[in-house]
Amino acid sequence: MSDEATQVDAFWWKGVEEERLLFQTCDACDAVNFYPRIRCVKCMSPRLSWRESTKQGTVYACTFIHRAPTADLAGEAPYFVVLADMDDRFRFMARLRKGPQQDISVGSRLTVVFEETKDKKIPCFEAV
C-alpha cells in the first residue's frame, strides 16, 4: 500500500474515532467514492474532497452469520451483516449493532452508530 493510500485510510479511521462516517466526492465529476481512495473511480482525478455522511441508509441486502469466519470473531456469532444504500449515494457494509435482536429486512431504514471494541471504535448499523 502506498504512503498516500495509508494516509487516506488513517484519515477515515480518525473520522470513525470521532464518530463521523466519512466518504469522498470528486471535485472534477461529482462522483461519490466509497471506500476512500486516492483517485476518483469514475474519472481518475486526484481531486477528492471529504464529506461527512448523514449516517442514514436503507438495507440493500443482509445475512445472518451463524458461524464466525475467524477464531477472533467466534464470540460474536450469531450476528447480522448488512449492505446498505446510504442516503449519501454510496453503499456501506457493516454489522448490525450487538444487543437485542432487531427485525430488519431489505428496505428497512438504518442509522450508523459506533461501538467500542478491544482495539478500536467501529461503525455498525442500528434499525431506525
23 contacts 88 by C-beta, under 8 angstroms:
yes
Q: For residue 13, what pLDDT band results from cuts at 50, 70 and 90?
A: very high
* Mean pLDDT to the nearest integer, 65-79: 84
Residue type, 103: D
- Sequence spans of domains, the chain: 3-52, 56-127
Q: For residue 72, what pLDDT band results from cuts at 50, 70 and 90?
A: confident
Which three three-digit cell numbers place residue 69? 469466519
Is 117 strand, coil or helix?
Answer: coil
For the stretch 17-70, pLDDT in tens is 999 999 999 999 999 999 999 999 999 999 999 999 999 999 999 998 898 888
Is 90 strand, coil or helix?
Answer: coil
Is 113 strand, coil or helix?
Answer: strand
Residue 100: pLDDT over 70: no
Long-range contacts of 78-82 (CB under 8 A, 24+ apart): 80/104, 82/110, 82/125
DSSP H helical ranges for the chain = 3-17
DSSP type of residue 32: E
Query: What's the CATH fold of domain 56-127?
Result: OB fold (Dihydrolipoamide Acetyltransferase, E2P) (2.40.50)
Is 65 strand, coil or helix?
Answer: strand
Greater confidence (78 vs 62) lies with: 62
Is 102 strand, coil or helix?
Answer: coil
The model's pTM: 0.88
Q: Are strands 22-26 and 32-33 parallel, antiparallel or unpaired?
A: antiparallel
